[in-house]
Amino acid sequence: MSENEIRLQKAIAQSGVTSRRKAEQLIEQGRVKVNGVTVTELGIKVSKSDKIEVDQIPINKEPVVHYLLYKPRGVISSVSDEKGRKVVTELIPDSEVRIYPVGRLDYDTSGLLLLTNDGELAQLLMHPSHQIPKVYVAKVKGIPSKELINQLKKGVRSKGELLKATKVKLLSVDHAKNTAIIELTLHEGKNRQVRRMLEAINHPVIKLKRERYGFLNLKGLQPGGYRELTAHEVNQLRDEALKSKK
């Protein structure tokens, strides 16, 4: 490979359209053209002078954007839904480029969700070995004992997986309603992790919200509200992910 040539999927990811893995899928789906010719093979090499298009749109025309969304409950963390339910990208109508969520929050979970077209950053943030701390606040049924709270830090088993929180705090209890509010900090991002952990100690979630993602929080936003990240925040996020290497 000459010095100025890189693999097609890498060129697409670097332009910020999507992650490298998704770029491979786009190529295989026949959605990528190089100099006007559809390419479905992985691994061909391209240089700066090649004209690359994804779905007929030249890739290097897209600016890289990063949004922080306060996802409301009742919205899917995806770019489309076969059942026609509302998806998170619809909440950011003024994005002129195709963006996608970094990881996911469940349909019924509210809170902080990042959306971007920055494939490299998204891949870094989602990588299991670079998980930055995420803080969740859960309202649960019943009032968990100290022992159970400690168990969440030691780890609980769910469907053959050991799930752990790095910090757990009991924030408040409502004896009359028999509910409690718990704050959990996770360095992992397994599917439905908080719900499964609290289910495993028999205190199922009533309501769940992600309050923080690394140093980022929801200050100044209402559910459904969003803002762009500053260049400084993007750099800080990248640094934090690189530092939290497991």
DSSP bridge partners of 209: 110, 137
| Cα(60)–Cα(41) distance, integer angstroms | 21
Which residues are CB-neighbours of 189 under 8 A, at least 6 positions away? 103, 126, 128, 131, 134
**Residue 50: active-site member:** no
Number of residues that bind ligand URA (CB under 6 A): 8
Beta carbon nearer to ligand URA, 77 or 123: 77
Tokens of 80: 């489309």
What six digits make up the tokens of 145?
């004992």
Taking the complex as a whole, the smallest distance from the CB of residue 165 to ligand URA amounts, in Å, to 11
Minimum CB distance to ligand URA smaller for 113 or for 237: 113
* Helical residues (DSSP H) of 82-186, grouped into ranges: 119-126, 146-154
CB 95 to ligand URA: min, Å: 22
Binding mask 88-127 for ligand URA (x = CB under 6 A): -----------------xx--x------------------
> In this structure, are residues 206 and 73 in contact, taking their beta carbons and an 8 Å threshold?
no
How many whole angstroms from its chain centre is CA 57? 25
- Residue 22 and residue 43: Cα distance in Å, rounded? 14
Number of Cα atoms under 13 Å in the Cβ half of residue 36: 0
Letters for 20-49 (x = contact with ligand URA by CB under 6 A, - = none) are ------------------------------
Residue 9 or residue 151: which is nearer to ligand URA going by CB?
151
Question: Footprint of ligand URA on residues 171-230 (CB under 6 A)?
Answer: 192-195, 208
Nearer Cβ to ligand URA, position 69 or 208?
A: 208
Task: In angstroms, give the least distance from the CB of 235 to ligand URA.
Answer: 26
Which of these is catalytic: 106, 108, 118, 239? 106
CB of 133 to ligand URA, least distance (A): 13
| Bridging pattern class, strands 37-38 and 32-34 | antiparallel
CB of 73 vs ligand URA, minimal distance in Å:
10
Q: Which is nearer to ligand URA, 66 or 195 (CB)?
A: 195
Helix (H), strand (E) at residue 217: strand 216-217
Provide the annotated active-site residues: 106
Q: Please report, as ranges, the residues that interact with ligand URA according to CB under 6 A.
A: 105-106, 109, 192-195, 208
